[in-house]
């Protein structure tokens, strides 16, 4: 998409054109200007010539059922980023109004950078290096891409959640990240409620502090992955700059200002961070009743192996016996390498 010239083109148009265009682009999710039937033909033609709506992407999907789909989007300068549509299966709940109505949820995972400079040992994105920050438009474009796809399916499916858990560290690109969040949340553009937006950070305290000061309160997740600084520094190089004590101070401040729960993400890596001792140590850290633990089955990307299913269950039990609310993330789309940065890596021949 290239909307750079949009405001110049609309300069001499009546004010209500903005509202018409916002609706067409960000609520009706048109993919060519000719679909914007509320606009005069001559304007549509000019927009077609000067503001491309095309999003260049290649989709990878798993066979059958409601499964994840992943897209590699090629940006104007040739950079490739990835974004995932996670189609969680619906559960039969009393809330389901009719049998036909889908109770599944659609979560979109977006990238905030092309690559990531932080080089975590377990992460495919980190291993493949860093190219550049994304602009807010490039971040929102990922959501628009999936919104168009859901619309084209014609089943009335909507976006339920958006998570900043794709490639990159959002707090290293704070200005564009928050601009994208505000755009997604704005009732005049995408109108996606703040409670449906989540950001994950590896623990950059400046970012956590800035987020606590924003008017818009989205969900916060911390990529914890280790219950002590020594192990954490082996897995996450930038942890040397951010001790757990400082991170939890920033998180507790975030919680006291916002009253929101914070999700602690913990990858389960075989023989590295998955012992009973690790679980007890983690439980000790989980002092605040608003902390929750989410155990993530590790997607093998190189030197580490995933923890066994039984080990994850035992680890979860220890945490729960210690009174820590714990969930296990459904491992989505392993077949299409749906974890952080893996597809892009494959394309470049790294993985
Ligand atoms: N940089 C931020 C945001 C990216 S989130 C952060 O690290 O929090 C990316 C998520 O994918 C993180 O929780 C990360 O731990 C997880 N991840 C990375 N490599 C993975 C792998 N091989 N298998 C499963 N999850 C992985
Ligand atoms: Fe970057 Fe997050 Fe991957 Fe670490 S886990 S390299 S911070 S994207």
Any idea which ligand is nearest the CA of 297? 1
- What share of the chain in percent tops pLDDT 90? 76
132: pLDDT strictly greater than 50: yes
Q: Is the pTM of this model over 0.85?
A: yes
Q: Which residue has the higher pLDDT, 185 or 63?
A: 185
At residue 331 the predicted structure's pLDDT band, cuts being 50, 70 and 90, is low
How far is Cα 203 from Cα 222, in angstroms, rounded to an integer? 6
Which residues have C-beta atoms less than 6 Å from ligand 2?
Answer: 116, 118-120, 123, 125-126, 168-169, 202, 223, 340
Question: Which pLDDT tens digit goes with each residue over 237-274?
Answer: 999 999 999 999 999 999 999 999 999 999 999 999 99
The rounded Å distance from CA 35 to ligand 2 centre is 39
Residue 240 DSSP SS3: helix
Nearest to 267 by CA among 244, 293, 227, 295: 295
For residue 341, give both structure tokens.
């940065």
Own/partner long-range contacts of 5-11 (Cβ < 8 Å, ≥24 apart): 5/50, 5/51, 6/47, 6/51, 9/43, 9/46, 9/47, 9/50, 9/51
The active-site residue, picked from 51, 69, 82, 116, is 82
């Amino acid at each position: 998409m290239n909307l750079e010239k949009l405001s110049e083109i609309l300069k001499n148009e009546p004010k209500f054109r903005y509202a018409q265009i916002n609706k067409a682009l960000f609520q009706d999710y048109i993919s060519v200007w000719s679909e914007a039937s509320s606009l005069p033909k001559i304007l549509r033609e000019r927009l077609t010539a000067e503001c491309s709506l095309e999003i260049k992407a290649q989709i990878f999907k798993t066979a059958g059922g409601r499964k994840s789909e992943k897209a590699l989007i090629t940006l104007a300068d040739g950079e490739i980023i990835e974004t995932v549509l996670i189609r969680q299966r619906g559960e039969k709940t009393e809330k389901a109004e009719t049998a036909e109505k889908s109770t599944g949820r659609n979560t979109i995972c977006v990238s905030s950078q092309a690559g990531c400079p932080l080089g975590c040992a377990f992460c495919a994105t980190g291993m493949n290096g860093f190219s550049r920050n994304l602009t807010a438009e490039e971040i929102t474009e990922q959501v628009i891409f999936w919104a168009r796809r859901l619309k084209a399916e014609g089943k009335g499916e909507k976006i339920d959640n958006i998570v900043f858990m794709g490639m990159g560290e959002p707090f290293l690109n704070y200005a564009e990240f928050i601009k994208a969040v505000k755009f997604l949340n704005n009732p005049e553009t995408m109108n996606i409620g703040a409670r449906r937006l989540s950001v994950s950070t590896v623990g950059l305290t400046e970012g956590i502090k800035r987020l606590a000061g924003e008017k818009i309160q989205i969900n916060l997740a911390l990529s914890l992955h280790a219950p002590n600084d020594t192990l954490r520094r082996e897995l996450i190089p930038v942890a040397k700059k951010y001790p757990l004590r400082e991170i939890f101070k920033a998180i507790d401040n975030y919680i006291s200002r916002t009253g929101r729960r914070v999700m602690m993400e913990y990858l389960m890596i075989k023989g590295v961070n998955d012992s009973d001792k690790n679980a007890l140590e983690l439980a000790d850290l989980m002092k605040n009743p608003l902390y929750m633990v989410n155990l993530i089955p590790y997607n093998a990307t190189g030197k580490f192996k995933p923890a066994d299913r039984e080990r994850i269950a035992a680890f979860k039990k220890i945490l729960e016996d210690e009174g820590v609310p714990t969930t296990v993330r459904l491992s989505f789309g392993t077949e299409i390498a749906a974890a952080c940065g893996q597809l892009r890596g494959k394309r470049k021949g790294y993985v």
